[in-house]
């Protein structure tokens, strides 16, 4: 029996993954799994570039705005739920499309998750207290000392990720990175990656345009509604953090907007660093005609059905 195939669309933020995902899902008569951790939360709409109503109606999407910011939701939770949904879809479909901006979440679905030691909740509480009292810099420095390899991989501005890595380093008395890429149980589907690429200047220009559109569409009003809950993990996100600083009175609105653009560019760079580790991606230029991309993908799938 030949295995079914999960086609995963990857690339930096604002490059056009949603559009290509819909094109592929329409062609293969299938549905889309979203692996964008910023789009899970229903209270965060404008700042996470959730697909439009028309896009969501064009093809069934899963894992978009299905959680509240008040519910804890981990990469482990997503991996379990997404795997079950994919298995269900494969019962009557040969292909499923996954669209992912979050490398960790994509990898979790495709490859499974690494096993980590159980964490003492007291330790988690004390690290969160340190974050509150001393700021993120102190935790970043400790992570760099304990695990320089992971420090250079992780988004060091994401407090949740920094604390998670420190918890493991302290509990296991060995680097967090030593738990990564262990042998995992093989998934019961084939994986095929298609990545969208562009010159850096194009990516940055698209990011700037997207941020300007978000501001025009009411991102500041959305941030004002979420401001009372700004300490929640889900809201430690580019686009919101910078506007919370403005609402705190610690920056001007113009400065906050320029910081959103700068931090989104940094995020795109980290996405590309993550993707460069994957040697199995079929890269296509961002302005390639969809019909040509489809032709390339179908040819590759025929040549290499066990991608």
What residues form the annotated binding site for substrate?
13-18
Long-range contacts, 253-256 (Cβ 8 Å, 24+) = 253/220
Q: Name the burial class of residue 2, with classes exposed (0-12), middle (13-18) and buried (19+) by CB atoms within 10 angstroms of its CB.
A: exposed
Q: Which two tokens stand for residue 7?
A: 């086609």
Which pairs with CB-CB distance under 8 Å and at least 24 residues apart come from 111-117? 111/184, 111/187, 112/79, 112/184, 112/185, 112/187, 113/75, 113/76, 113/79, 113/184, 114/179, 114/180, 114/181, 114/182, 114/184, 115/179, 115/182, 116/168, 116/179, 117/168, 117/171, 117/172
Q: Which amino acids are annotated as binding site, given as ranges?
A: 11-18
Indicate the pairing of strand 95-99 with strand 190-197.
unpaired
**Residue set of the binding site for ATP:** 11-18
Phi/psi region, residue 161 (left: phi>0; alpha: psi -120 to 50; beta: rest), is alpha
**Which distant-in-sequence residues (6+ apart) come within 8 Å of 301 by Cβ?**
5, 192, 307
Measured distance CA(127)–CA(105) in Å, rounded? 24
**Cα first-last separation, the chain:** 16
């Amino acid at each position: 029996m030949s295995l079914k195939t999960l086609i995963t669309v990857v690339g930096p933020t604002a490059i056009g993954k949603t559009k290509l995902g819909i094109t592929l899902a329409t062609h293969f008569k299938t549905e889309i799994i979203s692996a964008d951790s910023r789009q899970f939360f229903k209270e965060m709409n404008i700042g996470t570039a959730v697909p439009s109503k028309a896009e969501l109606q064009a093809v069934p999407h899963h894992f978009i705005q299905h959680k509240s910011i008040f519910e804890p939701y981990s990469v482990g939770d997503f991996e379990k739920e997404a795997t079950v949904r994919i298995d269900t879809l494969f019962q009557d479909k040969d292909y499923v499309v996954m669209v992912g901006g979050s490398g960790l979440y994509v990898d979790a679905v495709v490859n499974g998750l690494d096993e980590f030691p159980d964490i003492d909740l007291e330790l988690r509480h004390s690290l969160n207290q340190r974050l509150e009292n001393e700021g993120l810099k102190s935790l970043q420095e400790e992570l760099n000392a304990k695990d320089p390899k992971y420090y250079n991989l992780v988004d060091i501005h994401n407090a949740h990720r920094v604390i998670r890595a420190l918890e493991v380093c302290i509990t296991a008395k060995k680097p967090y990175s030593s738990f990564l890429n262990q042998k995992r149980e093989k998934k019961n589907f084939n994986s095929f990656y298609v990545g969208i690429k562009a010159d850096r200047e194009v990516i940055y220009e698209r990011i700037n345009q997207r941020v300007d559109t978000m501001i025009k569409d009411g991102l500041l009003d959305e941030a004002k509604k979420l401001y009372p809950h700004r300490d929640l993990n889900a809201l430690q996100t580019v686009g919101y953090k910078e506007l919370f600083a403005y609402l705190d009175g610690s920056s001007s609105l113009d400065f906050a907007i320029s910081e959103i653009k700068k931090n989104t560019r940094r995020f795109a760079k980290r996405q590309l660093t993550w993707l460069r580790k994957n040697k199995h991606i079929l890269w296509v230029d961002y302005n390639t005609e969809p019909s040509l991309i489809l032709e390339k993908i179908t040819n590759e799938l025929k040549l290499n059905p066990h991608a």
